């Protein structure tokens, strides 16, 4: 079973995907971490994330064991990740890892920007998670504050809008709602309510509403 969860920056898809995976006993892959790790390694090697060659070298050498790095969640790496994610060669290099992960038994919940469209077009269920930019900025700002990262809510909103624009307008694998995805707008939903809504949408999509619980 494969559940694809896509959505814009800070839409809460990561937290949701983790909880959905635990609920169904599936593996979870946050694909944003792959792009963030490539950005981290590009910068560590003295490269420019906008340079395809530098980003591709980091993508080819990526060590999956380094994906748990807590420092991947900084605003700087979010920005740099959306720059390395622009390069088609980088995306192609990361595709094999993602597809192999999707084949793991008993199944996987994979979240990102292009999971339902490119990585797993045959996923059993596709969710597109969104919220207004202001609400997403508010949530991400709180996370940064909790982690002791010094930013203003205005800066977070500007970063989110810039990344969304870049992610939606790139030539390869742009962020968009897959035609066969179910939309989940979490603007007015706290995480528990969003989780319950996701589970009922997934159960309904699987044609077995009410069985899982
Ligand atoms: O957690 P947040 O929504 O801030 O971002 P993320 O999921 O960690 O992704 C960081 C960046 O990686 C995004 O802005 C995208 O540019 C890129 N990305 C992508 O292009 N494709 C994916 N499947 C996942 C992330």
Q: Over 70: is that where the pLDDT of 154 sits?
A: yes
CB atoms within 10 A of CB 75: 17
Distance 34 CA to ligand 1 centre (A): 9
Q: In 3-state terms, what secondary structure has residue 169?
A: helix
CA dihedral 95, 185, 19, 116 (to 10 degrees): -20
81 touches 112 (CB < 8 A): no
Pocket test for ligand 1, best of 91, 112, 177 (most atoms within 8 A of CB): 112
Nearest CA owner, ligand 1 atom 25: 32
Q: Over 70: is that where the pLDDT of 27 sits?
A: yes
Q: Over 80: is that where the pLDDT of 202 sits?
A: yes
Distance 208 CA to ligand 1 centre (A): 31
Q: In 3-state terms, what secondary structure has residue 124?
A: coil
Pocket test for ligand 1, best of 78, 87, 155 (most atoms within 8 A of CB): 78
pLDDT above 70 as % of the chain = 97
CB atoms within 10 A of CB 90: 27
Compute the radius of gyration of the chain from its Cα atoms.
17
Short-list 167, 177, 206, 156, CA closest to 32: 167
Residue range 159-173: mean pLDDT, rounded: 94
The chain-wide mean pLDDT, for the chain, equals 95
Nearest CA owner, ligand 1 atom 6: 32
Q: Over 50: is that where the pLDDT of 195 sits?
A: yes
Confidence class of residue 17 from pLDDT cuts 50, 70 and 90? very high
Q: Over 60: is that where the pLDDT of 138 sits?
A: yes
- Can you list the domains of the chain with their CATH numbers? 2-205 (3.40.50.300)
């Amino acid at each position: 079973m494969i559940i694809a969860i896509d959505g814009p920056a800070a839409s809460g898809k990561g937290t949701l995907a983790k909880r959905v995976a635990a609920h169904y006993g599936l593996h979870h892959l946050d694909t944003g971490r792959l792009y963030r790790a490539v950005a981290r390694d590009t910068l560590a090697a003295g490269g420019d994330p906008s340079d395809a060659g530098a980003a591709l070298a980091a993508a080819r050498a990526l060590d999956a064991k380094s994906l748990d790095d807590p420092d991947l969640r900084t605003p700087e790496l979010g920005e740099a990740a959306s720059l390395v994610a622009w390069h088609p060669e980088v995306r192609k290099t990361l595709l094999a890892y993602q597809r192999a992960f999707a084949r793991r038994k008993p199944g996987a919940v994979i979240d990102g920007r292009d999971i339902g469209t490119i990585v797993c077009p045959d996923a059993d269920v596709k969710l597109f998670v969104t919220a207004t930019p202001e609400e997403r900025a508010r949530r991400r700002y709180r996370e940064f504050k909790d982690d002791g990262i010094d930013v203003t809510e205005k800066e977070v909103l500007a970063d989110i809008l810039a990344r969304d624009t870049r992610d939606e307008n790139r030539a390869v694998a742009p962020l968009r709602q897959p035609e066969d995805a179910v939309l989940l707008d979490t603007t007015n939903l706290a995480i528990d309510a969003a989780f319950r809504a996701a589970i009922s949408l997934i159960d309904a999509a699987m044609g077995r509403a009410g069985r899982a619980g």
